[in-house]
Amino acid sequence: MATDQGKTTLDSGWFAARSNEVHFNGTQLTTTNPPSGTTLPWMEALVPGTVLGTLVKNKLVPDPFYGLGNEAILDIADSGTDYYTFWFFTSFHCKLSSNQHCDLNFRGINYSADVYLNGHKMVLPKGMFRRHSLDVTNILHPDGNNLLAVLVHPPDHPGSVPPQGGQGGDHEIGKDVATQYVLGWDWIAPIRDRNTGIWDEVSISVTGPVKIIDPHLVSSFFDNYKRVYLHATTELENRSSWTAQCSLSIHVTTELEGSIHLVEQLQTQTISVPAKSRMQYTFPELFFYKPDLWWPNGMGKQSLYNVVISIDVKGFGESDSWSHYFGFRKIESHIDSATGGRLFKVNGEPIFIRGGNWILSDGLLRLSKKRYHTDIKFHADMNFNMIRCWGGGLAERPEFYHYCDYYGLLVWQEFWITGDVDGRGDPVSNPQGPLDHDLFLFCARDTVKLLRNHPSLALWVGGNEQVPPADINDALKNDLKLHPYFEHENEKGSLSTKLGDPSQYLDGTRIYIEGSLWSGFADGKGGFSDGPYEIQNPEDFFKDSFYKYGFNPEVGSVGIPVAATIRATMPSEGWQIPLFKKLSNGYVEEIPNPIWKYHKYIPYSKPDKVHDQIQLYGAVKDLDDFCLKAQLVNFIQYRALLEGWTSRMWTKYTGVLIWKTQNPWTGLRGQFYDHLHDQTAGFYGCRCAAEPIHIQLNLATYFIEVINTTSEELSNVAIEVSVWDLEGTSPYYKTHEKLSFLPKKVTPFVEMKYPKSKNPKPVYFLLLKLYDMSDNRILSRNFYWLHLPGGDYKLLEPYRKKKIPLKITSEVFIEGSTYKLQMHVHNKAKIPDSKSLTFEHGSTGTHRDSCLVADSVETVHNGAGKGQEVGWFKKLHRHFAGKSDGSKVSEINGYDIGVAFFLNFSVHASSKDRKEGEDTRILPVHYSDNYFSLVPGEAMTIDISFETPLGVAPRVTLNGWNYHGQTIHEAL
């Protein structure tokens, strides 16, 4: 039988062997001597993947991500390129019928390859970021059984790593068009094979006589986004020897529910495609009235339409089809006159950028849809709205972009230039970039075609902290010039008659910026003005002196993971915590063990500037104690960073991108989740701070601020401010009701005066809540632990002995291996009698900048000496006090009154599945919140979702500052 038309991915059944250990050539391997995976030197291969990934999979080298394992792997600079030149072999079935054609497709090979199919040789040219499509119609075996062997060659200039290390090693890799991080950076060790391999998707695609190539979709808006036109252009190739009479159709559908789709538009055109030729065809505009728009995360829904283009050939039937999820949206940006930063607008609405820098998912390029899904959902869960794909990493894959489309993450995509490798560094690197400029431009243009239809793609950038060489830069500026419609906000008229069709451009819809420090980013002129990258005093993020430019593309800090990750990724000698060396100036220097140093640990102190933030909590006992206290610091550090930036939204800043969100290996700095996919507390600090509607404490002024980044006014809302001491009483309580806050605005509301009150406690908790008064719904909740100026948190150490009673009601929903749990956590400690509260009435009247109106205050104190509270504090407790119908109830008994502090759930294999010394965590897990605290009487519902490995039952445990690994839910 003939093979069905369409694409078939070749992602299994591959074998690999080192080339100089194979005694047959490619012709022999694919004719008379095909290899067997059970015969040396052949081994099961990882495709897509790299040579090193395959060697690790087969345990032929140590795990480079574990301990010092990478040091035991031979580097290509010492072995020579032959050592990492590998054969990859597979077989596949494809039998064609009359007038069918087959392409063999490689979406990414590093760095070049010789391809043998059924004894025929084809050469794939150099370049890591280019697609290869080979017409193999006349090479396939008539019986449909085909043998494929690929000899993959490493980059031409793999370079070496100087003894002192450095950013990008000796920078030789910059002579090729490839990833640059592979020679090591200050956050990763060198990748020994330089990512040699078939690192991206391999497929065969079967079509009829005419195939569709790289369609381009563009939308344009009129009448305030009510009228929308879709422009579509595609290239067509007729491989037959006769003129093809074709019906070319485009239809657009939207998903209503489940598998039910509504056809929004359908258009069919009759065309002729000459024999043995390519032609470009542009559809007449498709018109939509008030379609659902695509919005970034936090601004609205991510509405996606499925666009399908298909071509039928007379006498044959459907010849080819192509589909893509497409979002109607318009993105614009300009340099803001008020701040000097680049300001982005989506669908006419300004968006304050809060996001992170991304290197890549995995340093050995073990990329998968599942891993991408987790990565991108984690970013959305942090309430981020942009990811920057750094220039020393990848041109990210369509699967990455698919999930960015789905979750609403705008993407800043850089090309393969970095300041360290392409112009500065030690030794000084080559400012002329790769040796083959034409190759660089070919890869750049091919990448644009691969990614341009994704609504999440926001801008192209020439390089990281560097501009591409002049000829490349000029060519990119020309290739990526904007269509006139995208240069203006309110262009009128028909694009097709007045401005030309934007789908005729290579892109035409997104700006090109020549480098990450240019044109509204950092100082805007290329000066080295991003950073800093170290621990900071939290209050400094709020100060005017901290960063003087409008948009910081990189600012970073600490990020050590939890203790379980240290144990899972290092031998016992790596479990030693840093030495704390007291200096003569009173500051502490942290000295890490050699394994932490190799894994690029960054300390929680900065002598002469920042006192050790872990030691603020007292002496550190062991690894568990160190990592728990580090999580407290991670939470404070990153919440303060984002809150400090957001505090100056539009007045000083237009955006910030944190360096960086994750690590492509088991690094110990700058991350919100580790390589194993367990989140640090910094993840939840960001999640809190980046809420679209947010209440916060300005740590520099101690004013409470309300941030409304949405386009809707907040009205009829209330604010509750309560302070809690370590004895479980509330010495300060204040409410404000019937308030209004303008959209896209930061409003400093009222000073939190407790530190200036009589006899304030040296360490205390602050709880801020913002409510919708119409339904008691919490719009924002923010919990702080604070000390008086010049103090520390050492009084929290004895607080660990507090026994605060908790009641946890759990409901579980199971579908296959997927678990969804709701954990309703209630602090059962007695709510303090209100006579212990000090009520302060807020002022009534119009706020000084007319952004907020305080209409009334709902706190009273009767004259009989008994306090009566009728505000939102009691109402909320009543609202959440109802019993759940959950299937399991866990009680953690206790006799103390106080805050259940820094609670966090984790999911593990059940007790019956545990093995001695094994990391029992089930990862990844998605939590609606974690590392949270509850004041007396307060309750919160945490949603947890995860998949379990085959045959493993999960258990959910609870830890915290004063809780120690209680099992809350176990499925046996």
DSSP element (H, E) containing 683: helix 681-689
Q: How far apart are CA 563 and CA 37, in angstroms?
A: 39
Which of 848, 812, 837, 842 is closest to 956 using CA atoms? 812
How far from chain centre, in Å, is Cα 51? 26
Residue 455 CB partners (closer than 8 Å, separation 6+): 294, 304, 326, 327, 328, 329, 405
Backbone phi, psi, residue 880, to 5°: -100, 5
| 3-state SS assignment for residue 20 | helix
275 contacts 336 by C-beta, under 8 angstroms: no
Which of 827, 802, 840 is closest to 932 using CA atoms? 827
Angle at 781 between CA 939 and CA 668, to 5 degrees: 100
165 contacts 147 by C-beta, under 8 angstroms: no
Q: Give, as one character, the DSSP assignment of residue 525.
A: B
DSSP element (H, E) containing 376: helix 369-381
Which of 942, 819, 932 is closest to 880 using CA atoms? 942
DSSP string of 211-265?
EEEEEEEEEEEETTTTEEEEEEEEEEEE-SSSPEEEEEEEEEEEEEETTEEEEEE
DSSP element (H, E) containing 333: strand 331-335
Confirm whether 465 is a catalytic residue: yes
**Which residue type, as a one-letter code, is found at position 731?**
P
H-state helical runs in 743-839: 796-799
Structure tokens at 670: 């700058």
For the chain, the straight-line distance linking the first and the last C-alpha, in angstroms and rounded, comes to 48
Cα-based distances in Å from 609 to 213, 534, 606, 612, 849: 57, 11, 6, 10, 36
802 contacts 795 by C-beta, under 8 angstroms: no
Q: How far apart are CA 803 and CA 963, in angstroms?
A: 8
Q: Which of 465, 691, 705, 938 is catalytic?
A: 465
94 contacts 3 by C-beta, under 8 angstroms: yes
Q: Which of 201, 554, 705, 737 is catalytic?
A: 554
| 3-state SS assignment for residue 84 | helix
Q: Strands 806-815 and 818-827, how do they pair? A: antiparallel
Q: Give, as one character, the DSSP assignment of residue 499.
A: I
Q: How far apart are CA 98 and CA 121, in angstroms?
A: 24
Backbone phi, psi, residue 503, to 5°: -75, -5
Cα-based distances in Å from 276 to 240, 244, 729, 850: 6, 10, 83, 70
| 3-state SS assignment for residue 12 | coil
Residue 786 forms beta bridges with which residues?
A: 764
| 3-state SS assignment for residue 706 | strand
Confirm whether 840 is a catalytic residue: no
Which of 155, 152, 190, 189 is closest to 172 using CA atoms? 155
Structure tokens at 662: 């994750």
4 contacts 34 by C-beta, under 8 angstroms: no
Structure tokens at 138: 């006349």
730 contacts 765 by C-beta, under 8 angstroms: no
Which residue carries 């980044």 as its tokens? 709
Sign of the Cα torsion 508, 509, 510, 513 reads positive
Which of 329, 266, 2 is closest to 142 using CA atoms? 2
Q: Strands 386-389 and 353-358, how do they pair? A: parallel
Catalytic residue positions, numbered: 465, 554
